[in-house]
A and B are shown apart, each in its own frame.
Chain A
Amino acid sequence: MGMTITEKIFARASGHKTVTPGQLVDARIDLVMCHDVTTPPAISMLKAKGLDRVFDRDRIVVTPDHFQPPKDIKSAELHKRLDEWARRHEITWYYKLGRAGVCHALLPEQGHIRPGELIVGGDSHTCTYGAFGAFSSGIGSTDLAAAVATGKLWFKVPASMKFVLNGTLGPGVYSKDVMLTVIGRIGTDGALYRAMEFVGPVLAQMSMEARMVLPNMAIEAGAKNGIIACDEVTKEYLDGRLKDTRPYTVFESDPDAEYYSVDEFDCSQIEPVVALPHLPSNTVPVREREGEAMDQAYLGSCTNGRIEDYRIAAGIIKGKEVKIRTMIVPATPTVWRQANDEGLWDIFYDAGCVISAPTCGACLGGFMGVLAEGEKCISSTNRNFVGRMGHPKSMVYLANPATVAASAVEGKLTDPRKYL
């Protein structure tokens, strides 16, 4: 019996020749991601248990991002605990001060994500890294503590679901629309405990930045991980970028690998969509809700806060004035710098947008654009649960960056295609 990419990575990491879904394995961790909310408690646990050590200071990447820079005294205390620990253990890849960014944009951009590796992080969107043919999954603080101290964790090998993305994307349609359509079809627990493997000709039309959106939101379907096989696009992105320059392993799913299910999508039929409050699966075409008044537009996050996203948005906003509060929250310092160099900040500034430093910000209701009671926000982020971006009675509408930009210009939900 053949294996999927996910199974092959588990077999390699656990020292087995083959593994099958449902099998419990103790696996070696190749990389651990740490940020300011979930890592400080893990550090405290390790201290309390007398396990205050790190398994390999070169295989841990630390970046404060959730409340970066600290938004209040309590979050400053979290940063202080993270900083003290990272310095004490001489963590090699510690992105601090002006180098910190939204973890899931920062780690791939800085060349820490390698195909074939097993990666965990103290954040649910750690599944993003699967775009590079790696197994990657989000964990809580206790798992994080164990991973950091021992470099090993137990896993139940997940069954894989295959998502075949056929066709070509039309104008104004992006990977975000594809993923919201997938989640809309299978539901927020449609992939519970399982791996989502994305294949199909549409991937060849996507850059790595665009691809990352698919596994990034795998957690929004309940999945353990999302994964895309490493191909030429991947290799080109990684070339000259990887911090660890040793050869990496490219795994491919065997032709006779077994899948829990196979879902086909004709992506040519997908339109710009919006996920209505309060579930990422409440997906409808934007045109069905056009005209619904918004109070804020938000462009940022590990889902759509990369340079391509700002180019798309700037293309629509250029020369116009936004009608609602519009937050531009770039994911990393490099994105900030590049957008600045390309003149995108001028476009957003002239349009009346707010441009912030890199941070997770209001995506999770932290700061930098938190919503008041009853307010509605069109957002390029990943979750629209009750209270996600602020007041429990505020509402979040998830969409691609073009839809967010068009809606900012009109002050209401707007199909971006008329601006293209």
Chain B
Amino acid sequence: MTKAHVYKRDHVNTDEIIPARYLNTDDEAELAKHCLEDLDPELVKKLQPGDVIVAGEDFGCGSSREHAVWAIRGARVQAVIAKSFARIFYRNAINCGFYPIESADAIDKIDDGDDVEIDFESGTIHDKTNGEEIPFQPLPDFALEILQDGGLLDHITKKAK
């Protein structure tokens, strides 16, 4: 089961996602131990591989630290679904090959603990607990290309060949 961890809040910022007291390392496994620690200290204990995080507007605002994406990815979160993303977080996520899902309705339709399934092809989130089908805006083609190549550096290496 893919469990949704829902935070009905806007502006979840990078200081909450990975506080600066842990920025003295870039080790993903280490960062993952503190994923969203200042928002929900219990989250790391609750997370199962493949779970998703759902939040409101402007997710990831603040610092340019890519450590925020690494902490989430390192905690084996499958995706973050937000009403909107802050610019640098969004770009970092794509560059890391981590799909940022923008959905206007997810925050209202998915309850904390729901079992969800994401269909990236069709751009749909299926909430198996309440039966809702929630569409999301698929990434633009150029971003999908970066994502499919495994991130920006692999993408530019491939293009250079």
Contacts and interface: CB of A to CB of B under 8 A. Distances in A.
Interface of A: 24, 37-38, 40-41, 44-46, 49-51, 66-67, 71-72, 74-75, 78, 122-124, 126, 138-143, 145-146, 150, 154, 188-189, 192-193, 219, 222-224, 279, 364-366, 383, 385-388, 392
A383 B23 contact: no
B58 A222 contact: yes
B153 A385 contact: no
Nearest to B19: A387
12 contacts: A37-B65, A71-B24, A74-B24, A140-B66, A142-B95, A154-B142, A365-B19, A366-B20, A385-B13, A386-B16, A387-B19, A392-B37
Given A122-B64, A146-B156, A139 B24 contact: no
Interface string B146-157: 000001111011
B4 interface: no
A142 B151 contact: yes
A386 B21 CA distance: 13
Nearest to A155: B91
B15 A66 contact: no
Contacts of B84: 189, 192
A401 to B, nearest CB: 22
Contact of A222 (B19, B38, B65, B87): B87
B106 to A, nearest CB: 18
B63 A386 contact: no
B103 interface: no
Nearest to A40: B26
B21 A143 contact: no
Interface in B42-73: 57-58, 61-67, 69
Contacts of A387: 15-16, 19, 38
B92 interface: yes
Given A192-B58, A364-B20, A383 B26 contact: no
A24 B151 CA distance: 18
Contacts of A392: 19, 37-38
A364 B14 CA distance: 11
Interface size, B (range):
35 or more
Interface in B78-115: 84, 86-88, 91-92, 95-96
A192 B38 CA distance: 24
B133 to A, nearest CB: 28
Contacts of A45: 153
Interface of B: 10-11, 13, 15-16, 19-21, 23-26, 37-39, 57-58, 61-67, 69, 84, 86-88, 91-92, 95-96, 142, 151-154, 156-157
The 7 A-B pairs at the shortest CB distance, nearest first, are namely A140-B66, A74-B24, A140-B92, A142-B95, A41-B26, A189-B58, A124-B64
A343 to B, nearest CB: 34
A107 B62 CA distance: 21
Contacts of B15: 364-365, 383, 385-388
Given A74-B24, A387-B38, A279 B87 contact: no
Nearest to A67: B24
Nearest to B90: A193
Contact of A188 (B39, B61, B95): B61
B63 A51 contact: no
A188 B58 CA distance: 8
Contacts of B66: 38, 41, 140-142
Given A49-B157, A383-B15, A37 B23 contact: yes
Contacts of A192: 58, 84, 86-87
Given A140-B88, A192-B58, A364-B63, A51 B25 contact: no
A386 B61 CA distance: 12
Given A51-B157, A188-B61, A143 B152 contact: yes
Nearest to B13: A385
A142 B151 CA distance: 9
B58 A385 contact: no
Contact of B142 (A24, A51, A142, A385): A24
B102 to A, nearest CB: 12
A140 B95 contact: yes
B16 A189 contact: no
Contacts of A364: 15, 20, 23, 63
B101 to A, nearest CB: 17
